[in-house]
Amino acid sequence: MIAREAETVVRELLSGFPVVTITGPRQSGKTTLAKAIFADKPYLSLEDPDVRRLALDDPRAFLGRLPDGAVLDEVQRVPELFSYLQTWVDADGRMGLFLLTGSQQFGLMSKITQSLAGRSAFVELLPFSVRELEGASIVPTSLDAMLFTGSYPPLYGRKLSPRLWFPAYVTAYVERDIRQLLKIQDLEAFQRFVRLCAGRSGQILNLDSLSTDCGITHNTAKAWISVLEASYLLFFLRPHHANFNKRLIKSPKLYFFDTGLLCWLLGIQGKEQLVTHPLRGSIFETLVVSELVKTFLNRGERPIIHFWRDSNGHEVDVIADVGGKLMPIEIKSGQTINRDFFTGIERWMALAGEQAVAPTLIYGGTESYERQGIRVRGWNGIHSSV
């Protein structure tokens, strides 16, 4: 098993909570991590119809067979179990009894919050970070290979091409998850919608444009994108509130969590296409922002990151809240440092004054150094930025 940085956080939380819930996208390694941590406890998947039926029909007997706790996988399939689990752990009184895993945020999160308030801690596990891949000496040899492959564990544990794995992953995801949450009549329209979202990764979200291009209503687009967010396919970066006397953009930016999936949705067939692809900059920005999110989550912290853009188009890609200070991070996919790379950060620093700290440029090269008070980090050193 490839070591996961989040394991330390999970183990620490288990010492202070009777239940820890690991959420994240399908195939991100939740089950593998849970089994490794609870290697001496039973493992039960609620995807299994027989196990699910027992949990539904007689939840007390189901839990009675697990006197010392267990791993309960894909618990969103049996939300009725949570109230019984609350009574069970309260009566037992021990910490670190159950590890739960789930692949959907809403529904699962709200039900656990209601039934297990104060009894369960939460950890979000995303696909491998670049740092985790480096630790296992399996990081792709080039930036384009990293962008094209992405970070899903099966692509590193099996001899599978991304071109073959992603179609099966997306089909399973659409069939098993989306249709459980939404009654989608036009599957082709939904698939088109997901691809349109992919073409907008790294851009300001415009639901009116998305719905028009897809031929659906605004409300449908809003519902569909909420499910994509809840299932950990994409996320939003909100604009920073500090305006420095400037009018600001108020809409969020959309990002996919994984560049391999993003490339497949964009129809990219090989890493060679990325060299001249018109969306290469957006794909690289997606990698960097998702890696920043992973860095925070793997430490058990909420990622307090935003972007900044005023009405004149002046922008800083990421503003990270670090100890009450604001860290500007600019993202450039070029492998050769250009003087223009620093313009946005320098303009923002002049506005932010004493609020600013540790300005950083992340670019498509591999060298890391400091230039005129600005930290320069290569794509393989993203984790050292925050």
Contacts with 219 (C-beta within 8 Å, 6 or more apart), sequence order: none
Pair of tokens at residue 115: 């039934």
Q: Say whether pLDDT at 40 is over 70.
A: yes
Query: Running DSSP on this structure, what letter comes out for residue 214?
Result: H
Residues 203-213 have a mean pLDDT of 95
Q: Say whether pLDDT at 78 is over 80.
A: yes
Q: How confident is the model at residue 385 (pLDDT cuts 50, 70, 90)?
A: confident
Q: Say whether pLDDT at 362 is over 90.
A: yes
What's the pLDDT at 244? 64
Residue reference for tokens 């070029």? 334
pLDDT, tens digit, 9 for 90 and up, residues 133-147 = 999 999 998 999 999
pLDDT, tens digit, 9 for 90 and up, residues 152-180 = 999 998 888 999 999 999 988 766 677 76
Mean pLDDT of the chain: 91
What's the pLDDT at 227? 87
Burial class (CB in 10 A: 0-12, 13-18, 19+), 340: exposed
Q: Say whether pLDDT at 365 is over 60.
A: yes
Q: For residues 19, 24, 30 and 34, what is the CA-based torsion angle, rounded to 10 degrees?
A: -10
Burial class (CB in 10 A: 0-12, 13-18, 19+), 198: buried
> What whole-number distance in Å separates Cα of residue 208 and Cα of residue 203?
14
Sort residue 6 into left (φ over 0), alpha (ψ -120 to 50) or beta.
Answer: alpha
DSSP 177-197: IIHHH---S-HHHHHHHHHHH
pLDDT, tens digit, 9 for 90 and up, residues 235-279 = 999 998 766 656 667 899 999 999 999 999 999 999 999 999 999
Q: Where are the chain's structural domains?
A: 6-124, 130-384
Gap between the terminal Cα atoms of the chain: 26
Architecture of domain 6-124: 3-Layer(aba) Sandwich (3.40)
Q: Could you give the strand order of the β-sheet that contains 70-73, starting from the edge strand earlier in sequence?
A: 43-45, 70-73, 98-102, 19-23, 120-124
> What whole-number distance in Å separates Cα of residue 289 and Cα of residue 70?
34
| Least confident interval from 53-57, 86-90, 187-191, 251-255 | 187-191
What's the pLDDT at 36? 97
Q: Say whether pLDDT at 299 is over 90.
A: yes
Q: How confident is the model at residue 113 (pLDDT cuts 50, 70, 90)?
A: low
- Among positive and negative, which fits the CA dihedral 171, 172, 174, 176? positive
- In the chain, the amino acid numbered 33 is L
What's the pLDDT at 106? 53
